[in-house]
A and B are shown apart, each in its own frame.
Chain A
Amino acid sequence: MQRKIIEFANLLRKSGLRVSVAEAIDAFQALEELSIDDREVFRDALRASLVKRGDDVPTYDQLFDLYWSGFHDNLKGAFEAAAGALADDGIDMEQLLQKIREMLESGQVPEGEVDLSDLARALLTGDLSELEQMIRAAATQAGVARIENMLQIGFFGRRTLEAMNAEGATRELRDLAARLRAVGMGDAEAEAIGRLAERFFEALRQSVRSFMERELQTRNFEYMEKFRREALFEKSFYSLTEDEIARMREVVNRLAQRIKNVMSIRRRRRKKGKLDLHTMLRRNMARGGMPFELVFKEKRKDRPKLVILCDVSSSVANVSRFMLQFVYSLQECFTKIRSFVFVAELGEVTQVFHDHEVGKAIEEALEGGGVINVYTRSNFGMAFHTFWRDFLSAVDAKTTVLVLGDARNNYNDPKAWCLRDLHNKAKNVIWLNPESPSAWGFGDSVMDKYLPYTTLAEECRNLRQLSRIVDKLVL
């Protein structure tokens, strides 16, 4: 069992869950306290010790089914089928096995003459758990880890049977029949043992085959999961399916969480200011200057103010989407956030975020938030000009301005001077562009015109880049 749990923990790990050795040991201890016949309890006990994040539960459930529920049942099925086939031939398998065991135990066969292998013994005692262990071990020995496709099932299956010496065990059983006949077993029964050996071999073959099939499934699953997780980070924002958007949203939340943790550690460290002697003396005056009450200086936190200008035209919508999600998940890291959306017209959507929960607000903002028309062609010049005219007063020396857009201006006037004025007033102007710098300034891109008025301009085409930028922004 211990080995199985370690193996299962490995499997979880390969699929991207974090499972430590200590937790695998916990799982093992947990199972010692419970009857593991109750599948539900078994599953919950393992989960409580191995899986510590809500997000990971679906993966766990799938892998649990794949790993635990299946194979034992397969094995049982195969041996029940063997019993059934024997019954068709008029042989009662249980009775026969009983008889063999009795004769062996009674010592009628001289000691040393029956030197049965572990496999043969397990077959004779019908010890399915033992058989399961043997098949697992043999499969590992046969290199099942390298199995990649259906066509290899036969090959690895044969090697597994060889590794556990299934044929040898069959032969042993036949030999045993001869020996038992020599000490008085009836011909019919001895012959039945021959049949039994055949059926057992067949059952083993079947079981090994289903083991291979499961193995392949698990492999694929692991691979897919890992791939999906990693790919998500590199995946370009330009082409996302609904499902990927949902998954990315989760990832963004988790990243935001991580940043918050780091932030709060930093803040605490900073808050531990020095003793404030002046205030302390004053406050303790009443007690004759005895410092009953200690007073510490509180350090001022310099959280940035943030103004976000989001291009919500379809080419950039996803960058804006995830950036907004980031920023609003990190709300408490900023003194104030104001958000604006634009395509050609520009409008403020800060209120939308007050009225709705973040996910909903973002979707609304991407639709223009009821303040702008999104079904036009991008015009950065016009958008910046509107901002310059109506909202420049929102920007001061503590404000970081974040622009999300591809700067593809459809050959309109870029009005870069608006951004220049903005840059002069603000603390920082950070521009995130989903296009690679090599494309900046070519075709209708006017990124080169805006570049001089940014503190930082970065390519931001996937989650990895985005999260790196957010790190820079808040830390």
Chain B
Amino acid sequence: MFESVEMVQKQLEEQGYICDKRIATVVFLANRLEKPVLVEGPAGVGKTELAKVVAAATGRPLIRLQCYEGLDEAKALYEWEYSKQLLYTQILKEKIGEVMQGTGSLREAAARVGQQDSVFFSEQFIVPRPLMHAITTDEPCALLIDEVDKSDPEFEAFLLEVLSDFQVTVPEIGTFAAKHRPLVFLTSNDAREMSDALKRRCLHLWIDYPDEAAELRILQAKVPGMDQKLAADLVAMMQRLRQLDLKKTPSIAETIDWARALLALNAESLGEQAVRDTMSVILKYEADIRKAQQELSRMMTARAAVTPAAVPTPSAPAATGTPPAPVAPPKKGTLH
């Protein structure tokens, strides 16, 4: 249980997740009010990750239900193990003589078979799926229903029921109710708008691309070995790219991948060559890459025009004057 909004922020940060007060407020409330959170936002801004780190921070196991088109109750909740049941009927058939032994009347025989029948539809033939897990688990858990927008509206209606009272009824067996309300996160990329009914049951959180400062902190948390100046340049570049009208806007995931790629190549600065070699890490479409390269050249020329005068000044506070040394030791300390 989180004590305050600030504590949420701090505890998530300990898990390597950088978030603003807005996100922290919603997480805090979700935890207190035991309400599901619908997290929306563009791809790769940390929606899934948020659920994971909240689970980790609260010490709850994470149960994940990945949604896709065609996902149905059977795949999400439970399935009868059909082949096992069939096998069982086979055995039953063979044993029928034994079972029937000593039965006098037809009625008695039918009752015997009936008894076998109730075994047939019992828990041992149920294959539990994530939702069932989340409901029947003994310890409090976190439930991530990922990319719920990919599921069909029909499935959404079913989710709605589960989310409102956290119990499910298996007609042949009975009702299972959750011992503890799971902490639920639903994520959506807005592939389609979720129904009002679902939204009403959830707190809503919109995560957008982070601003420059936040993104830099995320990068430092995720790729700690990186030169500060390089990291700052990279983030500045990403922020610029997001302004462009691209087919697929690069996200935080791409920032991190890009940083790792540059690190792997031992790139010391964001030179044109290094960027060209690694551009495909962040952009997937040919047209986007072309646009980005133009923008990059523009940025470079702009910077080249400024640098001669600017070299000594920008690092004024750290006045030690170590511009070209990428392995400056004191930098790591300042990351947290």
Q: How far is the CB of B192 from chain A (nearest CB, A)?
A: 6
Does B165 count as interface, using CB distance less than 8 angstroms? no
A23-B200, A257-B193 given; A33·B25 CB < 8 A: no
Interface presence of B205 (CB below 8 A) = yes
Q: B138 interface residue, CB < 8 Å from A?
A: no
Q: Is A250 an interface residue (CB 8 A)?
A: no
The answer to whether the Cβ of B38 comes within 8 Å of any Cβ in the partner chain is yes
How many whole Å from A22's CB to the nearest CB in chain B?
A: 6
Interface residues on A, range: 35 or more
A34 to chain B, nearest CB (A): 7
Q: Is B40 an interface residue (CB 8 A)?
A: yes
Are B154 and A52 closer than 8 Å at their CB atoms?
no
Q: Which residue of B lies closest to A38 (CB)?
A: B5
Known: A26-B35, A48-B25. A261 touches B5 (CB 8 A): no
CB of B240 within 8 Å of the partner chain: no
**Is the pair B193, A254 in contact by a Cβ cutoff of 8 Å?**
yes
B29, B35, B82, B195: most-surrounded residue (chain A CB, <10 A): B29
Choose from A26, A52, A268 the contact partner of B33 (Cβ within 8 Å).
A26
CB pair B193 A33 closer than 8 Å: no
Which of A29, A53, A265 meets B193, CB within 8 Å? A53
- Is residue A258 within 8 Å, beta carbon to beta carbon, of the partner chain? yes
B203 contacts chain A at the CB level, 8 A cutoff: yes
Contact in complex: B287, A355 (CB < 8 Å): yes
Which of A18, A33, A355 is in CB contact (< 8 Å) with B32? A33
Task: Report the stretch among A39-47, A63-71, A156-164, A405-413 that lies at the interface.
Answer: A39-47
Q: Which residue of B32, B83, B190, B192 is within 8 Å of A261 (Cβ)?
A: B192
Q: Is the CB of B152 within 8 A of A268?
A: yes
Which residues of A1-54 are within 8 A (CB) of B? 18, 20, 22-23, 26, 29-30, 33-34, 38, 40-41, 44-45, 47-49, 51-54
Q: How far is the CB of B160 from chain A (nearest CB, A)?
A: 13
Given that A261-B153, A264-B152 are contacting pairs, would A41 and B25 also be in contact in the complex, using a CB cutoff of 8 Å?
Answer: yes
Which chain A residue lies CB-closest to B82?
Answer: A292
- A407 and B5 alpha carbons, distance in the complex (Å): 62
Question: Does B153 contact A264, Cβ atoms closer than 8 Å?
Answer: yes
CB-CB under 8 A from B83, the residues of chain A are 292
Q: Which residues of A contact B38 (CB under 8 A)?
A: 52
CA distance A260 to B193 in the complex (A): 10
Query: When chains A and B are docked, how far (Å) is the Cα of A290 from the Cα of B22?
Result: 57
Known contacts A356-B287, A357-B245; decide if A33 and B28 are in contact (CB<8 Å). Answer: yes
A367 to chain B, nearest CB (A): 16
A26-B203, A34-B29 are known contacts. Are A54 and B21 too (CB-CB below 8 A)?
no
Q: Does A360 lie at the interface of the complex (its beta carbon under 8 Å from any beta carbon of B)?
A: yes
**A interface SS class:** helix
- A475 beta carbon closer than 8 Å to chain B: no
Nearest CB in chain B: distance from A419 CB, A: 36
- CB-based contact B192/A260 at 8 Å: yes
Can you list, as one digit per residue, whether each of B184-210 has a CB less than 8 Å from chain A (1) or not (0)? 000000101101100110111110000
Q: Is B247 close to A, CB under 8 A? A: yes
Once the chains bind, are B204 and A52 in contact (CB under 8 Å)? yes
- CB-CB under 8 A from A41, the residues of chain B are 5, 21, 25
Residue A57 lies at the interface, judged by CB distance under 8 Å to chain B:
yes
Asked if B100 is at the interface of the complex by the 8 Å CB criterion, the answer is no
A49-B193 contact in complex given A41-B5, A41-B25, A356-B247, C-beta closer than 8 Å: no
Query: Beta-carbon contacts of A247-275 to B below 8 Å, as 1s and 0s?
Result: 00000001001101100110010000000
> From residue 253 to 303 of chain B, which have CB atoms closer than 8 A to chain A?
287
Checking B29, B86, B153, B200 against A20 with a beta-carbon cut-off of 8 angstroms, the contacting residue is B200
A44 touches B154 (CB 8 A): no
**B153–A45 contact, CB under 8 A?**
no
- 0/1 per residue, B13-51, Cβ < 8 Å to A? 000000001100110110011010110100000000000
Chain B: interface residue total (CB-CB under 8 A): 35
Query: Once bound together, how far apart are the Cα atoms of A254 and B245, in whole Å?
Result: 21
Docked complex Cα distance between A26 and B26 (Å): 12
Q: Which residues of B contact A47 (CB under 8 A)?
A: 204
Q: Are A290 and B193 neighbours in the complex by a CB distance under 8 Å?
A: no
> Is there an interface contact between B21 and A30, defined as CB atoms closer than 8 Å?
no
**Chain B nearest Cβ from A275, distance in angstroms:** 14
| Residue in chain A with minimal CB distance to B29 | A30
Q: Write out the residue numbers on chain A whose beta carbons fall within 8 Å of the beta carbon of B32.
A: 33
User: In the complex, which residue of chain B has the Cβ closest to the Cβ of A358?
Assistant: B247
B64 shortest CB reach to chain A, Å: 23
A264 vs B33: C-alpha distance when bound (angstroms): 33
Given A265-B153, A292-B86, A360-B245: A48 and B193 interface contact (C-beta under 8 Å) = no
Contact of B25 among A45, A257, A268 (CB under 8 A): A45
Tell me if A33 and B33 are in contact (CB < 8 A).
Answer: yes
Chain A proximity of B329: nearest CB distance (Å): 37
| Of the residues A18, A268, A355, contact of B154 by C-beta under 8 Å | A268
Asked whether, in the complex, the Cβ of B196 is within 8 Å of the Cβ of A40, the reply is: no
Give B157's nearest chain A residue, CB to CB. Answer: A265
Closest-by-CB residue of A relative to B25 is: A44
B247 touches A357 (CB 8 A): yes
Q: Are A261 and B193 in touch, CB under 8 angstroms?
A: yes
A46–B143 alpha-carbon span in the complex (Å) = 24
Which chain A residues lie closer than 8 Å to B5 at the CB level? 34, 38, 41
Q: Which of A18, A30, A38 contacts B196 (CB 8 A)?
A: A18
Chain B residues in 8 Å Cβ range of A53: 193, 199
A29 and B33: CB pair below 8 A? yes
Docked complex Cα distance between A54 and B25 (Å): 17
Q: Is the CB of A33 within 8 A of B29?
A: yes
B33-A30 in contact (CB<8A): yes
Q: Report Cα–Cα, A22/B192, bound state, in Å.
A: 23
Residues in B neighbouring A33, C-beta threshold 8 A = 28-29, 32-33
- Chain A residues near B202 (CB-CB < 8 A): 52
- Which of A48, A254, A257, A261 makes the CB contact (< 8 A) with B203? A48
Contact A52 B199, CB 8 Å, known A34-B29, A264-B153: yes
Contact assessment for B247 and A45 in the assembled complex, using a CB-CB cutoff below 8 Å: no
Query: Per-position contact with A for B152-166: 1 when CB-CB < 8 Å, else 0?
Result: 111000000000000
CB distance from B128 to the nearest CB of A (A): 21
Enumerate chain B residues within 8 angstroms of A49, measured Cβ to Cβ: 29, 203-204
Q: Within 8 Å CB of A260, what residues of B?
A: 192
Write the nearest CB–CB distance from B185 to chain A, whole angstroms.
Answer: 13
A-B contact pairs, 28 of them (CB 8 A): A23-B200, A26-B35, A29-B33, A30-B29, A30-B203, A33-B28, A34-B5, A34-B25, A34-B29, A41-B25, A44-B22, A44-B25, A48-B26, A48-B204, A49-B204, A51-B204, A52-B196, A52-B199, A52-B200, A257-B192, A257-B193, A260-B192, A261-B192, A264-B152, A265-B153, A292-B83, A292-B86, A357-B247
Residues of A at the B interface (CB closer than 8 Å) are 18, 20, 22-23, 26, 29-30, 33-34, 38, 40-41, 44-45, 47-49, 51-54, 57, 254, 257-258, 260-261, 264-265, 268, 290, 292, 294, 355-357, 359-360
Partner-A contacts on B (CB < 8 A): 5, 21-22, 25-26, 28-29, 32-33, 35, 37-38, 40, 82-83, 86, 152-154, 190, 192-193, 195-196, 199-200, 202-206, 245-247, 287
3 residue pairs, one from A and one from B, having the closest CB atoms: A52-B199, A44-B25, A33-B32
4 more CB-based (< 8 A) A-B contacts, given A40-B22, A265-B152, A356-B247: A26-B33, A30-B203, A34-B28, A53-B193
